[in-house]
Amino acid sequence: MLRSASVPVESTKPFSLHPIARLLIIGLLALAVVTIFMTINSRGNWDFVLPFRGRKVLAIIVVGTAIAISTVIFQTITANRILTPSIMGFDALFMLVQTIAVFSMGGAALAQTDPKIRFVVNVLVMTVFSGALYWWLFIKANRPLHLLVLIGIIFGTLFRSFTNLLQRMIDPTDFAVLQDTSFASFNSVDRTLVGIGATIVGVILLMVALRNRILDAMLLGRATSISIGVDYQREVMIVLAMTTILVSVSTALVGPITFFGLLVAHLAYHTVGSSGHRYTIPAAALYSIIFLVGGQLILEHVFNFNSSLSIMVEFAGGLLFIILLLRGNA
């Protein structure tokens, strides 16, 4: 049980808005963006527009929430705000699985495979890989968490190299099919898979909500959190497991999104006025909805699908990553 500890999580600046008020403003902005997306150029065809666009919005909410939660809690346990779960090589493993499938079966066979089977296979492969890695390094060998992150980076590099080798050996037509899976897309997400993903993300969101105080204590560092009663190694393993499942679900649903979590997490840190997870996680999830729905809106009605949503959000996230690195060096 946690003993009392003073964790300064809320802003003390005079005349500053309470974090709940800030969350309300962000939520209203997210609602406005979703409303515009659902109604723009509808021309009264509500029977078609609402289900069609609603499925996209639901997929965006599921994926955006998964990315936001996984990034915030991963940065909490690593005590580093420029790391994201993708550093563990999840996106590289996803692309390796797709490349092996195309290399062995062909692009046509992959395209005709039941999306539910592909979803289950992708989630299982990524979850089993990361679970084995965590057990080997963090429990059996009792290695530091940062060594686990370093090993994840090495595996990510290995997966990318092997993927590039296989991609050079496949047929150009199959390669074109494979390229479609390398960019995140919300235009063709299976309705059943969205429901399964929403259930998984909802369960993990509840688990995170029940651990808000523990996560806040872990912000104080390993030694301090242990001194106030946190079973640090157990909680880190739980957070790593939740992060793995969230990233696996979001990647299997729409494809890899590398730097997006970094963008929304830092917006939440800098605008919510508190470091408490009961504020930063909802804020990051709302920012995910704003950027993904807004990006999809621009993609459809400004660029006429002549670009990719993942390119737009990754550009913004990658730019922020470079800025954070430069600020750190300064």
Range from 114-118, 155-159, 182-186 that averages highest in pLDDT: 155-159
Percent of the chain with pLDDT over 70: 84
Mean predicted lDDT score pLDDT of the chain: 80
> In the prediction, which pLDDT does 307 show?
63
Q: Is the pLDDT of residue 296 over 70?
A: yes
- What pLDDT, on a 0 to 100 scale, did the predictor assign at position 46? 75
pLDDT at 142: 65
According to the model, what pLDDT value does residue 308 have? 66
Instruction: Tell me how crowded residue 65 is: count the other CB atoms within 10 A of its CB.
Output: 25
Query: What pLDDT shows up at residue 4?
Result: 45
DSSP code per residue over 90-145: HHHHHHHHHHHHHHHH-HHHHHHS-HHHHHHHHHHHHHHHHHHHHIIIIIIS---H
Supply angle C-alpha 158, 160, 164, rounded to 5.
120
- Say how far apart CA 123 and CA 20 lie, in whole Å: 35
Q: Rounded distance, CA 278 to CA 216, Å?
A: 9
Cβ-contact 217, 2 below 8 angstroms? yes
Length reported for the chain: 330
pLDDT attached to residue 26: 93
Which of 181-190, 246-255, 296-305 has the weakest average pLDDT? 181-190
Is the pLDDT at 207 greater than 90? The verdict is yes
pLDDT digits (tens, 9 = 90+) for 21-65: 999 999 999 999 999 988 887 776 777 778 888 888 898 899 999
pLDDT of residue 146: 74
Q: How confident is the model at residue 135 (pLDDT cuts 50, 70, 90)?
A: confident
Angle, in degrees to the nearest 10, between helices 46-78 and 19-39: 150
**303: pLDDT strictly greater than 60:** yes
CA distance 236 to 242: 10
- The label of the residue with tokens 């242990």 reads 226
CA atoms within 13 A on the CB side of 305: 3
pLDDT value of position 167: 83
pLDDT of 163 reads 86
pLDDT the model gives residue 137: 67
CB 85 within 8 A of CB 249: no
**Which among 189, 153, 186 is positioned nearest to 288, based on CA atoms?**
186
User: Which residue in 110, 163, 159 sits closest to 130, CA to CA?
Assistant: 159
The per-residue pLDDT for 12 is 44
- Choose the weakest-confidence range: 2-11, 67-76, 291-300: 2-11
Name the least confident of 57-71, 96-110, 209-223: 96-110
CA 58 → CA 86, 155, 199, distances in Å? Answer: 23, 32, 12
- Domains, the chain, with CATH or none: 49-329 (1.10.3470.10)
What is the spatial distance between Cα 234 and Cα 102, in angstroms, rounded to a whole number? 39
pLDDT tens-place string over residues 245-287: 888 888 878 777 777 888 889 889 988 888 889 999 999 999 9
